[in-house]
Structure 1
Amino acid sequence: MSHAIAADSARIHYTALGSGGDPLLLLSGQSLDHRMWAGVDTALARRHRVILLDARGTGGSDTPEPPDGAAGYTTRLFADDALAVLDALGIGRAHVYGFSMGGRVAQVLAAMAPERVGALVLGSTGPGGTLEAARPPEATRALRRAASPEGRDAVADLFFTPAWGGAHPGIVASILPANTRHAQRLHYAASSGHDAEGLLGAIRAPTLVLHGGDDLLTPAANAGILADRIPGARVHIFPGARHGYLHEARPEADGAVLDFLAAHPLAAAPPGVPEALSP
């Protein structure tokens, strides 16, 4: 098991798949570890060196208390942890694909460290703050009850249509909370405290925004909000898919990501980013 050491000495677990192609960092959703990418990661690794990490509080990573007595973690803290993983692997620059809360982390990473990010893929995510198109109250209630059996069933229905989820129980299990209730609260604070209003316009990475058309957990209107504020961003909506489009809309979703990354290789640096940086 490989670990990077974060600035506060927390151990961040990571693993890598594939041996060739541009590096691609995958950032998981709230309270989910790297297993949520099962199948997607191997598909992407056919063309990329895929790096998966467990955000602090999940999987094989440590769960330290928040710094300075804060109520929870922050997306900036998670972004710093992601950079620690890239540093541990000696990767100067990588594509980044963030899902749900991982997409919020990816926004911060692309804005604060543009020289480290090639192409950016934002899946099932939103900008937070006053820009966010809010989820309906019943979705929030389900998320808060995720630790209970009833809450897990409700969260599963928010991710996938019932017929698809019933036919793929292993995938459903991979998107249920993978940490303790205390760590879930720390993650919830990070996601709910995210506000990218002042960051989105600073993102220079080529950006693809992906979203399920029937997503209630993060309503699809957020895809347009992000694309309107990130220069040059493109949007791809998967009609009929819910929050977990990356599984339910395969292989279309895999193809959309791979085609976008192929069109924006790391050798072509975005404006203001030195091409000399090595991946």
Structure 2
Amino acid sequence: MSSTSSRVPVGGAAYVRTVTAGRRTLRVAVRPGTDESLPPFLLMNGIGASLEVLQPFVDALDRRRTVIRFDVPGVGGSPRPVVPYNLATFSPVVARALTRLGFDAPVDVLGLSWGGGLAQHFAAQHRNRCRRLVLAATATGSLMVPANPRVLARMLTPRRHRDPDYARSIAGEIYGGTMRTHPERAAQVLHSATRLGPRRGYYYQLAASTGWSSLPFLKLIRQPTLIVAGDDDPIVPLVNARMMARLLPDARLHVYEGGHIALVTEAAELAPVIEDFLDA
């Protein structure tokens, strides 16, 4: 394994490293915290989104907390994968990348949307590396209450990440919440600082979760888990969060008024809820 690092303005005092682990190269951003007694906070992003998209949420978190983000292969600044991957094979890559970065102690993990599937795998496969788990706007994969077929069709293409006008036109329909009345905020979130990778990276990421479900192993996730879900999420209907809260051994559910990307667009409201859980 190898890595290179450089100071890059990704928000605050964050720096960026390129880390190679498990024959995959990832672009990683680390915002060092001021309190080394707090576990680092590892964020796993949604489909097609580079680590910059999470900047509003990172800015809303207490500066005492170290925050780690990364681009999956082929997205943002991470090179596209030579061969496809899936959630089960990518989770060990993330664990090795943490080791390469010098984070050997357990971390707290948050998974947003697609990243929630990866976070569930990480918690189950690497129990000793994950202290607490936050699942935001996510579900159990193929065995879930699905979104409207029209919404799913919009998710099959990375166009919303590449065309601000298109993102604005469909924001309310696919993201719900405040995007119904302020669709321009979705275009701003997705395009103000996003690094775009090749389209193939998006399709590799989409394929990585095709046919996947966490239902068979949810009982193996023993970490305290906070499920954060919106009451107007067209992509992941709320009933999925309620189902996960019942099936996970140690879970609590927080329902907010909003849609799929409220973690970013309403970060100031949700960050304190999540940090209260991490500090409990």
- Structure 2 counterpart of 1:236: 254
| Whole-angstrom CA distance in 2 between matches of 1:141 and 1:54 | 24
Q: Quote how far apart the aligned CAs of 1:154 are.
A: 5.2
- Structure 2 counterpart of 1:212: 230
| Whole-angstrom CA distance in 1 between matches of 2:192 and 2:114 | 16
- Structure 1 counterpart of 2:220: 202
Between the aligned residues of both structures, percent identity stands at 27
* Residue 43 (structure 2) pairs with residue 53 (structure 1): no
Q: TM-score, structure 2 length as denominator?
A: 0.84
| Whole-angstrom CA distance in 1 between matches of 2:194 and 2:234 | 16
Task: Report how many residues are paired.
Answer: 255
For residue 112 of structure 2, the aligned residue among 99, 117, 122 is 99
For residue 5 of structure 1, the aligned residue among 3, 14, 20 is 20
* Residue 32 (structure 2) pairs with residue 14 (structure 1): no
- Structure 1 counterpart of 2:53: 36
Cα RMSD between the aligned structures? 2.1
- Structure 2 counterpart of 1:277: none
Give the secondary structure class of the aligned counterpart of 2:182: helix
- Structure 1 contact 129–197 (Cα < 8 Å) conserved: no
- Structure 2 counterpart of 1:125: 138
Q: TM-score, structure 1 length as denominator?
A: 0.84
For residue 141 of structure 1, the aligned residue among 153, 173, 177 is 153
Q: Quote how far apart the aligned CAs of 1:167 are.
A: 4.9
- Residue type of the alignment partner of 2:19: A
For residue 82 of structure 2, the aligned residue among 57, 65, 86 is 65
- Structure 2 counterpart of 1:89: 101
* Residue 208 (structure 2) pairs with residue 190 (structure 1): yes
- Structure 2 contact 141–213 (Cα < 8 Å) conserved: yes
Q: Quote how far apart the aligned CAs of 1:168 are.
A: 6.6
- Structure 1 counterpart of 2:196: 178
The one-character-per-residue Cα deviations of 1:93-131 (angstroms, maximum 9, x if unpaired) are 10001100101000000001100001100001010132x
Unpaired stretches in structure 1, ≥5 consecutive residues: 67-71, 264-279
The one-character-per-residue Cα deviations of 1:146-186 (angstroms, maximum 9, x if unpaired) are 32647534553323523333257432426989332211111
> Using a 3 Å threshold, how does the CA distance of structure 1 residues 187 and 126 change in structure 2: closer, same or farther?
same
- Residue type of the alignment partner of 1:156: A
